[in-house]
Amino acid sequence: MPRPRRQIELPGAKETYDRLLAEQGGVCAICGNPPKTRRLSIDHDHKTGAVRGLLCFQCNRALPAAKKAEWFLRAYDYLNPDRWAPPSEASRDG
Protein backbone atom coordinates (compact mmCIF):
# COMPACT_ATOMS: atom_id res chain seq x y z
CA MET A 1 0.00 0.00 0.00
CA PRO A 2 1.47 3.42 -0.93
CA ARG A 3 2.47 5.66 1.91
CA PRO A 4 0.40 8.88 2.19
CA ARG A 5 2.20 12.07 1.18
CA ARG A 6 3.84 13.76 4.11
CA GLN A 7 1.87 16.75 5.27
CA ILE A 8 3.46 19.94 6.54
CA GLU A 9 3.85 19.39 10.27
CA LEU A 10 5.10 22.74 11.50
CA PRO A 11 2.73 24.89 13.58
CA GLY A 12 1.27 27.74 11.53
CA ALA A 13 2.65 26.15 8.36
CA LYS A 14 -0.06 27.48 6.02
CA GLU A 15 0.47 31.08 7.14
CA THR A 16 4.25 30.67 7.16
CA TYR A 17 4.19 29.17 3.65
CA ASP A 18 1.99 31.96 2.26
CA ARG A 19 4.15 34.68 3.85
CA LEU A 20 7.45 33.19 2.67
CA LEU A 21 6.07 32.53 -0.81
CA ALA A 22 5.17 36.22 -1.13
CA GLU A 23 8.52 37.36 0.35
CA GLN A 24 10.47 35.10 -2.03
CA GLY A 25 8.45 36.11 -5.09
CA GLY A 26 7.09 32.57 -5.54
CA VAL A 27 10.50 30.98 -6.17
CA CYS A 28 13.01 28.75 -4.39
CA ALA A 29 15.29 30.65 -1.98
CA ILE A 30 18.40 28.93 -3.38
CA CYS A 31 18.02 28.39 -7.13
CA GLY A 32 15.37 31.03 -7.81
CA ASN A 33 13.17 28.70 -9.86
CA PRO A 34 9.40 28.51 -9.40
CA PRO A 35 7.94 25.16 -8.31
CA LYS A 36 7.11 22.80 -11.18
CA THR A 37 5.14 19.77 -10.01
CA ARG A 38 5.48 20.07 -6.22
CA ARG A 39 4.93 22.85 -3.76
CA LEU A 40 8.03 24.45 -2.32
CA SER A 41 9.16 22.87 0.95
CA ILE A 42 9.37 24.80 4.19
CA ASP A 43 13.05 24.44 5.04
CA HIS A 44 13.89 24.46 8.72
CA ASP A 45 16.76 23.70 11.06
CA HIS A 46 16.13 20.17 12.30
CA LYS A 47 17.82 20.91 15.63
CA THR A 48 16.08 24.17 16.52
CA GLY A 49 12.97 24.05 14.33
CA ALA A 50 13.71 27.58 13.06
CA VAL A 51 12.23 28.16 9.60
CA ARG A 52 14.78 29.38 7.03
CA GLY A 53 12.73 29.69 3.84
CA LEU A 54 11.05 27.82 0.99
CA LEU A 55 13.05 25.46 -1.21
CA CYS A 56 12.25 23.44 -4.31
CA PHE A 57 12.45 19.67 -4.02
CA GLN A 58 15.90 19.47 -5.62
CA CYS A 59 17.49 22.17 -3.46
CA ASN A 60 15.86 20.80 -0.32
CA ARG A 61 17.17 17.30 -1.04
CA ALA A 62 20.63 18.65 -1.90
CA LEU A 63 21.11 20.20 1.53
CA PRO A 64 22.77 17.62 3.74
CA ALA A 65 21.09 18.08 7.11
CA ALA A 66 24.22 17.27 9.11
CA LYS A 67 26.49 19.82 7.40
CA LYS A 68 27.33 23.20 8.82
CA ALA A 69 27.64 26.53 7.03
CA GLU A 70 31.45 26.22 7.02
CA TRP A 71 31.13 23.07 4.88
CA PHE A 72 29.09 24.98 2.29
CA LEU A 73 31.62 27.81 2.18
CA ARG A 74 34.45 25.33 1.63
CA ALA A 75 32.41 23.51 -1.03
CA TYR A 76 31.75 26.84 -2.75
CA ASP A 77 35.46 27.66 -2.76
CA TYR A 78 36.22 24.18 -4.08
CA LEU A 79 33.71 24.52 -6.92
CA ASN A 80 34.80 28.09 -7.74
CA PRO A 81 38.61 28.02 -7.56
CA ASP A 82 38.99 31.30 -9.46
CA ARG A 83 37.20 33.25 -6.72
CA TRP A 84 39.81 32.37 -4.13
CA ALA A 85 43.35 31.10 -4.39
CA PRO A 86 45.81 30.45 -1.60
CA PRO A 87 48.82 32.77 -1.58
CA SER A 88 51.59 31.56 -3.83
CA GLU A 89 55.06 30.78 -2.51
CA ALA A 90 56.40 33.89 -4.23
CA SER A 91 53.98 36.23 -2.47
CA ARG A 92 54.82 34.71 0.92
CA ASP A 93 58.51 35.49 0.52
CA GLY A 94 57.71 39.07 0.27
Tell me which fold the domain 13-83 belongs to: His-Me finger endonuclease fold (3.40.1800)
Phi, psi dihedral angles at 45 (to 5 degrees): -75, 120
When pLDDT is averaged across residues 63-84 and rounded to a whole number, the result is 78
pLDDT at 11: 66
pTM: 0.65
pLDDT at 6: 54
How many Å apart are CA 61 and CA 29, to the nearest integer? 14
What letter does residue 34 receive in the DSSP assignment? P
Output the pLDDT for position 68: 80
pLDDT tens per residue, range 10-57? 567 889 899 999 999 999 999 999 999 999 999 988 888 888 999 999
Q: Can you tell me the mean pLDDT for 58-82?
A: 82
The torsion angle over the Cα atoms of residues 34, 16, 38 and 48, rounded to 10 degrees, is 110
